[in-house]
Protein backbone atom coordinates (compact mmCIF):
# COMPACT_ATOMS: atom_id res chain seq x y z
CA UNK A 1 0.00 0.00 0.00
CA UNK A 2 2.74 2.56 0.79
CA UNK A 3 4.18 2.01 -2.70
CA UNK A 4 0.74 2.55 -4.25
CA UNK A 5 0.28 5.80 -2.31
CA UNK A 6 3.68 7.03 -3.49
CA UNK A 7 2.76 6.22 -7.09
CA UNK A 8 -0.55 8.09 -6.79
CA UNK A 9 1.17 11.12 -5.22
CA UNK A 10 3.80 11.08 -8.00
CA UNK A 11 1.09 10.92 -10.69
CA UNK A 12 -0.83 13.81 -9.13
CA UNK A 13 2.33 15.94 -8.95
CA UNK A 14 3.08 15.21 -12.60
CA UNK A 15 -0.46 16.19 -13.66
CA UNK A 16 -0.27 19.40 -11.62
CA UNK A 17 3.06 20.28 -13.24
CA UNK A 18 1.65 19.69 -16.73
CA UNK A 19 -1.42 21.77 -15.90
CA UNK A 20 0.76 24.62 -14.67
CA UNK A 21 2.78 24.48 -17.88
CA UNK A 22 -0.36 24.60 -20.01
CA UNK A 23 -1.78 27.46 -17.98
CA UNK A 24 1.48 29.37 -18.32
CA UNK A 25 1.24 29.14 -22.10
CA UNK A 26 -2.26 30.61 -22.04
CA UNK A 27 -2.73 34.23 -21.01
CA UNK A 28 -5.59 36.71 -21.15
CA UNK A 29 -8.18 33.98 -21.36
CA UNK A 30 -7.87 32.61 -24.88
CA UNK A 31 -4.45 33.95 -25.90
CA UNK A 32 -1.50 31.57 -26.09
CA UNK A 33 1.87 32.84 -24.95
CA UNK A 34 4.63 32.57 -27.57
CA UNK A 35 8.15 33.90 -27.97
CA UNK A 36 7.85 36.18 -31.00
CA UNK A 37 5.29 37.65 -33.35
CA UNK A 38 6.17 39.45 -36.59
CA UNK A 39 3.15 41.45 -37.73
CA UNK A 40 1.91 43.36 -40.76
CA UNK A 41 4.52 41.98 -43.16
CA UNK A 42 4.58 40.92 -46.74
CA UNK A 43 5.69 37.27 -46.59
CA UNK A 44 7.71 35.47 -49.26
CA UNK A 45 7.10 31.94 -47.98
CA UNK A 46 9.22 30.16 -50.63
CA UNK A 47 6.98 27.14 -50.08
CA UNK A 48 6.22 24.64 -52.83
CA UNK A 49 3.70 26.98 -54.48
CA UNK A 50 5.75 30.16 -54.02
CA UNK A 51 2.94 31.63 -51.94
CA UNK A 52 3.12 35.33 -51.06
CA UNK A 53 1.05 36.64 -48.15
CA UNK A 54 0.21 40.33 -47.86
CA UNK A 55 -0.28 41.98 -44.44
CA UNK A 56 0.73 38.72 -42.83
CA UNK A 57 1.60 37.64 -39.33
CA UNK A 58 4.15 35.00 -38.36
CA UNK A 59 4.28 33.39 -34.92
CA UNK A 60 7.45 31.83 -33.47
CA UNK A 61 7.72 29.66 -30.37
CA UNK A 62 10.53 27.44 -29.11
CA UNK A 63 12.56 28.16 -32.23
CA UNK A 64 9.93 26.98 -34.71
CA UNK A 65 7.27 28.61 -36.82
CA UNK A 66 3.98 28.01 -35.06
CA UNK A 67 1.56 29.93 -37.27
CA UNK A 68 1.46 32.00 -40.44
CA UNK A 69 -1.66 34.07 -40.96
CA UNK A 70 -3.10 36.56 -43.42
CA UNK A 71 -4.61 39.93 -42.49
CA UNK A 72 -7.56 38.04 -40.97
CA UNK A 73 -5.29 36.96 -38.11
CA UNK A 74 -7.54 36.62 -35.10
CA UNK A 75 -5.00 37.63 -32.43
CA UNK A 76 -4.93 34.35 -30.51
CA UNK A 77 -1.32 34.78 -29.46
CA UNK A 78 0.58 37.04 -27.11
CA UNK A 79 4.37 37.32 -27.40
CA UNK A 80 7.26 38.43 -25.27
CA UNK A 81 8.58 40.23 -28.35
CA UNK A 82 6.66 41.76 -31.25
CA UNK A 83 8.30 43.11 -34.41
CA UNK A 84 6.22 45.53 -36.45
CA UNK A 85 7.17 44.77 -40.05
CA UNK A 86 4.81 47.21 -41.74
CA UNK A 87 6.28 48.20 -45.09
CA UNK A 88 8.77 45.32 -44.98
CA UNK A 89 9.02 41.83 -46.42
CA UNK A 90 9.93 38.75 -44.43
CA UNK A 91 11.39 35.68 -46.07
CA UNK A 92 13.52 32.64 -45.20
CA UNK A 93 17.12 33.32 -44.23
CA UNK A 94 19.58 32.97 -47.11
CA UNK A 95 21.75 29.88 -47.35
CA UNK A 96 25.42 29.95 -48.35
CA UNK A 97 26.08 26.50 -49.78
CA UNK A 98 29.87 26.84 -50.08
CA UNK A 99 32.20 28.91 -47.92
CA UNK A 100 35.61 29.06 -46.28
CA UNK A 101 34.93 31.52 -43.48
CA UNK A 102 38.18 30.66 -41.69
CA UNK A 103 40.11 32.52 -44.38
CA UNK A 104 38.09 35.75 -44.18
CA UNK A 105 41.16 37.88 -43.44
CA UNK A 106 42.43 37.11 -46.96
CA UNK A 107 39.87 39.39 -48.56
CA UNK A 108 40.93 40.10 -52.18
CA UNK A 109 44.45 38.88 -51.37
CA UNK A 110 45.17 37.89 -54.98
CA UNK A 111 42.90 38.97 -57.82
CA UNK A 112 45.63 38.79 -60.47
CA UNK A 113 46.13 35.07 -60.98
CA UNK A 114 44.08 32.13 -62.19
CA UNK A 115 43.21 29.06 -60.16
CA UNK A 116 46.46 27.07 -59.86
CA UNK A 117 48.72 30.05 -59.20
CA UNK A 118 46.10 31.53 -56.88
CA UNK A 119 45.97 28.28 -54.87
CA UNK A 120 49.76 28.33 -54.44
CA UNK A 121 49.76 31.94 -53.32
CA UNK A 122 46.95 31.62 -50.79
CA UNK A 123 48.27 28.31 -49.45
CA UNK A 124 51.55 29.99 -48.56
CA UNK A 125 49.63 32.30 -46.25
CA UNK A 126 47.16 29.74 -44.92
CA UNK A 127 49.84 27.29 -43.79
CA UNK A 128 50.77 29.76 -41.06
CA UNK A 129 47.21 30.13 -39.73
CA UNK A 130 46.76 29.17 -36.08
CA UNK A 131 43.54 28.01 -34.46
CA UNK A 132 43.10 31.51 -33.08
CA UNK A 133 43.49 32.95 -36.58
CA UNK A 134 40.73 30.69 -37.89
CA UNK A 135 38.52 31.61 -34.94
CA UNK A 136 38.97 35.34 -35.49
CA UNK A 137 38.56 34.99 -39.25
CA UNK A 138 35.40 32.96 -38.72
CA UNK A 139 33.96 35.67 -36.49
CA UNK A 140 34.72 38.25 -39.16
CA UNK A 141 33.05 36.19 -41.87
CA UNK A 142 30.04 35.11 -39.80
CA UNK A 143 29.16 38.65 -38.76
CA UNK A 144 29.34 39.73 -42.41
CA UNK A 145 27.12 36.84 -43.50
CA UNK A 146 24.48 37.60 -40.88
CA UNK A 147 24.36 41.26 -41.90
CA UNK A 148 23.86 40.06 -45.47
CA UNK A 149 20.90 37.89 -44.43
CA UNK A 150 22.69 34.54 -44.44
CA UNK A 151 21.41 32.35 -41.62
CA UNK A 152 23.03 29.04 -42.66
CA UNK A 153 26.43 28.35 -44.21
CA UNK A 154 28.09 25.17 -45.46
CA UNK A 155 31.80 25.40 -44.73
CA UNK A 156 34.98 23.62 -45.73
CA UNK A 157 38.11 24.60 -43.80
CA UNK A 158 40.62 23.40 -41.25
CA UNK A 159 40.19 23.85 -37.48
CA UNK A 160 36.39 23.51 -37.84
CA UNK A 161 35.89 23.58 -34.07
CA UNK A 162 37.05 27.19 -34.12
CA UNK A 163 34.43 27.98 -36.74
CA UNK A 164 31.79 26.29 -34.57
CA UNK A 165 32.95 28.34 -31.58
CA UNK A 166 32.50 31.55 -33.56
CA UNK A 167 29.17 30.39 -35.02
CA UNK A 168 27.73 29.66 -31.60
CA UNK A 169 28.76 33.10 -30.33
CA UNK A 170 26.81 34.77 -33.14
CA UNK A 171 23.92 32.27 -33.19
CA UNK A 172 24.18 31.31 -36.87
CA UNK A 173 23.40 27.84 -38.26
CA UNK A 174 26.56 26.10 -39.51
CA UNK A 175 27.43 22.98 -41.46
CA UNK A 176 31.10 22.09 -41.01
CA UNK A 177 33.41 19.26 -42.00
CA UNK A 178 34.19 16.50 -39.53
CA UNK A 179 37.99 16.27 -39.27
CA UNK A 180 39.49 13.04 -40.55
CA UNK A 181 42.89 11.57 -39.88
CA UNK A 182 44.87 8.40 -40.42
CA UNK A 183 45.42 5.97 -37.55
CA UNK A 184 48.70 4.25 -36.79
CA UNK A 185 48.06 1.72 -39.58
CA UNK A 186 47.34 4.44 -42.14
CA UNK A 187 43.59 3.90 -42.26
CA UNK A 188 41.21 6.86 -42.28
CA UNK A 189 39.01 7.64 -39.31
CA UNK A 190 36.88 10.56 -38.23
CA UNK A 191 37.51 12.67 -35.15
CA UNK A 192 34.98 10.81 -33.02
CA UNK A 193 35.28 13.13 -30.02
CA UNK A 194 34.51 16.15 -32.22
CA UNK A 195 31.50 14.38 -33.71
CA UNK A 196 30.12 13.26 -30.34
CA UNK A 197 30.59 16.72 -28.85
CA UNK A 198 28.40 18.52 -31.39
CA UNK A 199 26.09 15.90 -32.90
CA UNK A 200 23.13 16.97 -30.75
CA UNK A 201 23.64 20.72 -31.20
CA UNK A 202 20.63 22.07 -33.09
CA UNK A 203 22.69 24.75 -34.86
CA UNK A 204 25.55 22.47 -35.93
CA UNK A 205 25.38 20.15 -38.92
CA UNK A 206 28.14 18.05 -40.44
CA UNK A 207 29.62 17.14 -43.78
CA UNK A 208 32.63 15.10 -44.86
CA UNK A 209 34.94 17.04 -47.16
CA UNK A 210 37.79 15.16 -48.85
CA UNK A 211 39.68 18.16 -50.15
CA UNK A 212 41.52 18.13 -52.41
CA UNK A 213 40.29 14.88 -53.86
CA UNK A 214 43.74 14.19 -55.33
CA UNK A 215 45.20 13.75 -51.83
CA UNK A 216 43.23 10.53 -51.40
CA UNK A 217 43.26 7.15 -53.13
CA UNK A 218 40.21 5.74 -54.84
CA UNK A 219 39.71 3.33 -51.96
CA UNK A 220 39.91 6.18 -49.47
CA UNK A 221 37.24 8.09 -51.37
CA UNK A 222 35.10 4.95 -51.16
CA UNK A 223 35.67 5.05 -47.39
CA UNK A 224 34.38 8.64 -47.33
CA UNK A 225 31.31 7.54 -49.27
CA UNK A 226 30.55 4.73 -46.85
CA UNK A 227 31.22 6.78 -43.72
CA UNK A 228 28.95 9.61 -44.89
CA UNK A 229 26.14 7.13 -45.49
CA UNK A 230 26.74 5.59 -42.07
CA UNK A 231 26.47 9.02 -40.40
CA UNK A 232 23.68 10.18 -42.75
CA UNK A 233 25.51 13.38 -43.68
CA UNK A 234 26.48 14.95 -47.03
CA UNK A 235 29.77 14.88 -48.88
CA UNK A 236 31.07 18.37 -49.79
CA UNK A 237 33.71 18.62 -52.55
CA UNK A 238 35.41 20.89 -55.04
CA UNK A 239 35.10 19.42 -58.52
CA UNK A 240 35.26 20.46 -62.18
CA UNK A 241 36.58 23.86 -61.11
CA UNK A 242 38.54 24.48 -64.31
CA UNK A 243 40.40 22.47 -67.01
CA UNK A 244 43.63 22.46 -64.99
CA UNK A 245 41.83 20.91 -62.00
CA UNK A 246 40.29 18.30 -64.32
CA UNK A 247 43.78 17.50 -65.60
CA UNK A 248 44.97 16.86 -62.04
CA UNK A 249 42.09 14.42 -61.55
CA UNK A 250 43.03 12.68 -64.79
CA UNK A 251 46.71 12.43 -63.85
CA UNK A 252 45.95 11.09 -60.37
CA UNK A 253 43.14 8.64 -61.11
CA UNK A 254 43.19 8.29 -64.91
CA UNK A 255 39.52 9.25 -64.75
CA UNK A 256 37.37 12.22 -65.68
CA UNK A 257 35.67 14.06 -62.78
CA UNK A 258 32.36 12.35 -63.50
CA UNK A 259 33.96 8.91 -63.75
CA UNK A 260 35.74 9.55 -60.46
CA UNK A 261 32.40 10.25 -58.80
CA UNK A 262 31.00 7.00 -60.13
CA UNK A 263 33.96 4.73 -59.39
CA UNK A 264 34.46 6.15 -55.88
CA UNK A 265 30.77 5.79 -55.05
CA UNK A 266 30.50 9.48 -54.13
CA UNK A 267 27.84 9.97 -56.76
CA UNK A 268 25.51 7.77 -54.69
CA UNK A 269 25.85 10.02 -51.64
CA UNK A 270 24.06 13.19 -50.67
CA UNK A 271 26.67 15.17 -52.60
CA UNK A 272 27.33 18.92 -52.80
CA UNK A 273 29.59 19.79 -55.73
CA UNK A 274 31.09 23.26 -55.45
CA UNK A 275 31.93 24.97 -58.76
CA UNK A 276 30.99 22.30 -61.37
CA UNK A 277 32.17 24.54 -64.22
CA UNK A 278 33.52 22.09 -66.78
CA UNK A 279 30.79 19.44 -66.95
CA UNK A 280 29.55 18.99 -70.50
CA UNK A 281 25.88 18.99 -71.38
CA UNK A 282 25.98 15.20 -71.74
CA UNK A 283 27.64 14.85 -68.32
CA UNK A 284 25.04 17.16 -66.77
CA UNK A 285 22.29 14.94 -68.18
CA UNK A 286 24.03 11.95 -66.59
CA UNK A 287 24.38 13.74 -63.24
CA UNK A 288 20.64 14.39 -63.36
CA UNK A 289 20.07 10.65 -62.96
CA UNK A 290 21.33 10.94 -59.37
CA UNK A 291 18.77 13.00 -57.38
CA UNK A 292 21.04 13.29 -54.34
CA UNK A 293 23.62 15.28 -56.30
CA UNK A 294 23.45 19.07 -55.91
CA UNK A 295 25.48 21.99 -57.20
CA UNK A 296 26.81 25.00 -55.31
CA UNK A 297 26.95 27.86 -57.80
CA UNK A 298 29.79 30.31 -57.02
CA UNK A 299 29.72 32.77 -59.95
CA UNK A 300 32.07 35.55 -58.81
CA UNK A 301 34.81 33.18 -57.65
CA UNK A 302 34.55 31.13 -60.81
CA UNK A 303 34.61 34.14 -63.07
CA UNK A 304 37.62 35.54 -61.23
CA UNK A 305 39.69 32.33 -61.12
CA UNK A 306 38.45 30.44 -64.17
CA UNK A 307 37.08 33.11 -66.54
CA UNK A 308 33.58 31.58 -66.59
CA UNK A 309 30.80 30.34 -64.38
CA UNK A 310 29.09 26.98 -64.19
CA UNK A 311 26.38 26.44 -66.83
CA UNK A 312 23.69 26.97 -64.22
CA UNK A 313 20.89 27.12 -66.77
CA UNK A 314 21.75 23.60 -67.95
CA UNK A 315 21.71 22.26 -64.40
CA UNK A 316 18.31 23.84 -63.79
CA UNK A 317 16.92 22.59 -67.12
CA UNK A 318 17.88 19.07 -66.03
CA UNK A 319 16.23 19.49 -62.60
CA UNK A 320 19.50 19.31 -60.68
CA UNK A 321 19.18 21.10 -57.34
CA UNK A 322 21.43 24.15 -57.21
CA UNK A 323 22.18 26.49 -54.33
CA UNK A 324 24.32 29.62 -54.23
CA UNK A 325 27.74 29.84 -52.62
CA UNK A 326 30.19 32.64 -52.00
CA UNK A 327 33.43 30.66 -51.72
CA UNK A 328 35.96 32.49 -49.52
CA UNK A 329 36.56 36.23 -49.44
CA UNK A 330 39.90 35.72 -51.20
CA UNK A 331 38.10 34.76 -54.41
CA UNK A 332 34.53 36.03 -54.07
CA UNK A 333 35.18 39.62 -54.98
CA UNK A 334 35.78 40.28 -51.30
CA UNK A 335 32.27 39.61 -50.00
CA UNK A 336 30.28 36.88 -48.27
CA UNK A 337 26.99 37.98 -49.78
CA UNK A 338 24.66 35.56 -51.54
CA UNK A 339 22.52 38.33 -53.04
CA UNK A 340 25.65 39.95 -54.45
CA UNK A 341 26.52 36.64 -56.13
CA UNK A 342 23.03 36.42 -57.60
CA UNK A 343 23.08 39.96 -58.92
CA UNK A 344 26.44 39.39 -60.58
CA UNK A 345 25.31 36.12 -62.16
CA UNK A 346 21.98 37.52 -63.33
CA UNK A 347 23.71 40.39 -65.13
CA UNK A 348 26.64 38.57 -66.74
CA UNK A 349 24.28 35.84 -67.94
CA UNK A 350 22.92 38.40 -70.39
CA UNK A 351 26.26 38.75 -72.15
CA UNK A 352 27.93 36.58 -74.74
CA UNK A 353 31.55 37.34 -75.58
CA UNK A 354 31.03 36.17 -79.14
CA UNK A 355 28.56 38.97 -79.74
CA UNK A 356 28.98 42.73 -79.62
CA UNK A 357 25.85 43.11 -77.51
CA UNK A 358 24.16 41.44 -74.57
CA UNK A 359 21.18 39.12 -74.66
CA UNK A 360 19.52 37.23 -71.83
CA UNK A 361 20.78 33.77 -72.73
CA UNK A 362 19.84 32.09 -69.48
CA UNK A 363 16.46 33.68 -68.85
CA UNK A 364 16.49 32.71 -65.18
CA UNK A 365 13.69 34.54 -63.37
CA UNK A 366 14.29 36.59 -60.19
CA UNK A 367 12.06 34.15 -58.31
CA UNK A 368 14.26 31.22 -59.41
CA UNK A 369 17.41 33.00 -58.22
CA UNK A 370 15.85 33.60 -54.79
CA UNK A 371 14.59 30.03 -54.68
CA UNK A 372 18.18 28.88 -55.24
CA UNK A 373 19.31 31.06 -52.33
CA UNK A 374 16.68 29.68 -49.94
CA UNK A 375 14.76 26.41 -50.25
CA UNK A 376 16.92 24.94 -53.01
CA UNK A 377 20.02 25.70 -50.96
CA UNK A 378 18.42 23.95 -48.00
CA UNK A 379 17.59 20.93 -50.17
CA UNK A 380 21.17 20.86 -51.46
CA UNK A 381 22.43 20.54 -47.87
CA UNK A 382 19.83 17.93 -46.94
CA UNK A 383 18.03 20.42 -44.67
CA UNK A 384 14.96 21.11 -46.77
CA UNK A 385 12.60 19.71 -44.14
CA UNK A 386 14.09 21.98 -41.48
CA UNK A 387 14.83 25.36 -43.09
CA UNK A 388 14.65 27.19 -46.42
CA UNK A 389 10.98 28.20 -46.43
CA UNK A 390 8.52 29.79 -44.03
CA UNK A 391 6.14 26.97 -43.14
CA UNK A 392 4.55 25.79 -39.91
CA UNK A 393 6.84 23.37 -38.07
CA UNK A 394 10.07 24.55 -39.69
CA UNK A 395 12.85 26.28 -37.79
CA UNK A 396 12.40 30.04 -37.60
CA UNK A 397 15.31 31.27 -39.74
CA UNK A 398 13.89 34.58 -41.02
CA UNK A 399 15.08 37.89 -42.43
CA UNK A 400 13.26 41.24 -42.72
CA UNK A 401 13.99 43.33 -45.80
CA UNK A 402 12.97 46.74 -47.08
CA UNK A 403 11.78 45.45 -50.46
CA UNK A 404 8.55 44.54 -52.18
CA UNK A 405 9.41 42.07 -54.94
CA UNK A 406 11.93 39.52 -56.16
CA UNK A 407 13.24 41.90 -58.83
CA UNK A 408 14.43 44.31 -56.13
CA UNK A 409 16.30 41.50 -54.41
CA UNK A 410 18.07 40.40 -57.58
CA UNK A 411 18.60 43.61 -59.53
CA UNK A 412 18.37 46.36 -56.88
CA UNK A 413 21.37 48.59 -56.23
CA UNK A 414 21.28 47.75 -52.52
CA UNK A 415 19.18 45.55 -50.25
CA UNK A 416 18.40 46.82 -46.77
CA UNK A 417 18.24 43.83 -44.41
CA UNK A 418 17.05 45.16 -41.06
CA UNK A 419 16.48 42.08 -38.90
CA UNK A 420 17.86 38.54 -38.86
CA UNK A 421 16.37 35.68 -36.85
CA UNK A 422 18.00 32.27 -36.46
CA UNK A 423 16.30 29.36 -34.70
CA UNK A 424 13.70 31.78 -33.39
CA UNK A 425 16.25 34.13 -31.82
CA UNK A 426 16.74 37.70 -33.03
CA UNK A 427 20.46 38.04 -33.77
CA UNK A 428 20.24 41.35 -35.65
CA UNK A 429 17.57 43.98 -34.92
CA UNK A 430 17.35 47.27 -36.78
CA UNK A 431 20.74 46.41 -38.31
CA UNK A 432 22.37 46.14 -34.87
CA UNK A 433 23.77 42.83 -33.62
CA UNK A 434 22.16 41.55 -30.43
CA UNK A 435 25.19 39.39 -29.66
Q: In terms of domains, do 98 and 181 share one?
A: yes
| Residue 425 within a domain | no
Report the half-sphere exposure of 376 (CA within 13 A, side-chain side): 23
User: Exposed, middle or buried by CB within 10 Å (0-12, 13-18, 19+), for 202?
Assistant: exposed
Residue range(s) defining the domain that contains residue 108:
94-413
Sign of CA dihedral 32, 37, 40, 42: negative
pLDDT of amino acid 11: 54
How far from the centroid of its chain's Cα atoms is residue 38's Cα?
Answer: 23
pLDDT of amino acid 352: 52
Q: In terms of domains, do 155 and 183 share one?
A: yes
pLDDT of amino acid 333: 86
Contact 307, 360 (CB under 8 A): no
**CA-CA distance, 165 to 137, in Å (whole number)?**
12
Give the residue from 60, 87, 114 where a domain finishes.
Answer: 87
| Residue 286 within a domain | yes
Would you write out the chain's pLDDT as a tens digit for each of its 435 residues? 445 554 544 554 454 444 444 444 444 557 899 999 999 999 999 999 999 999 999 999 999 999 998 876 656 899 989 999 999 999 999 999 999 999 999 998 888 888 999 999 999 999 999 999 999 999 999 999 999 999 999 999 999 999 999 999 999 999 999 999 999 999 999 999 999 999 999 999 999 999 999 999 999 999 999 999 999 999 999 999 999 999 999 999 999 999 999 999 999 999 999 999 999 999 999 999 999 999 999 999 999 899 889 999 999 999 999 999 999 999 988 999 999 999 999 987 655 544 455 555 667 999 999 999 999 999 999 999 999 999 999 999 999 999 989 999 999 877 899 999 999 999 999 999 998
pLDDT of amino acid 413: 77
Q: Which helix (H) or strand (E) holds 249?
A: helix 243-253
**CA-CA distance, 285 to 88, in Å (whole number)?**
41
| CATH assignment at residue 21 | 2.30.40.10
Q: In terms of domains, do 57 and 183 share one?
A: no
Q: In terms of domains, do 122 and 16 share one?
A: no
**CA-CA distance, 424 to 396, in Å (whole number)?**
5
pLDDT of amino acid 416: 93
Q: In terms of domains, do 76 and 155 share one?
A: no
Q: In terms of domains, do 11 and 117 share one?
A: no
| Residue 326 within a domain | yes
Domains in the chain: how many in total?
A: 2
Which has the closest alpha carbon to 166: 200, 131, 118, 193?
Answer: 131
* pTM listed for this prediction: 0.91
Amino acid sequence: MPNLKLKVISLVCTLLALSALLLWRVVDGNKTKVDLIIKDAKIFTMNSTGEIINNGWLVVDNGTIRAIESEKFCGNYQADEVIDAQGKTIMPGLINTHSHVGMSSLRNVDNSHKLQEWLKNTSEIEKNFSEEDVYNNSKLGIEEMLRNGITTFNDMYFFPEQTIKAAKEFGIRAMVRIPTMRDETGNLEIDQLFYEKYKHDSLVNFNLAPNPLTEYSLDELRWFSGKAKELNIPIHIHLAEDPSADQEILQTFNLSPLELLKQSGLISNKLIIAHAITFSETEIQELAQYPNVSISFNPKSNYLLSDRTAPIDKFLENDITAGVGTDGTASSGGTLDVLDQIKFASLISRCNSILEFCIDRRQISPYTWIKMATIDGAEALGLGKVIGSLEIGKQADIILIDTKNYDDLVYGSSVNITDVIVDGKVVIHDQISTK
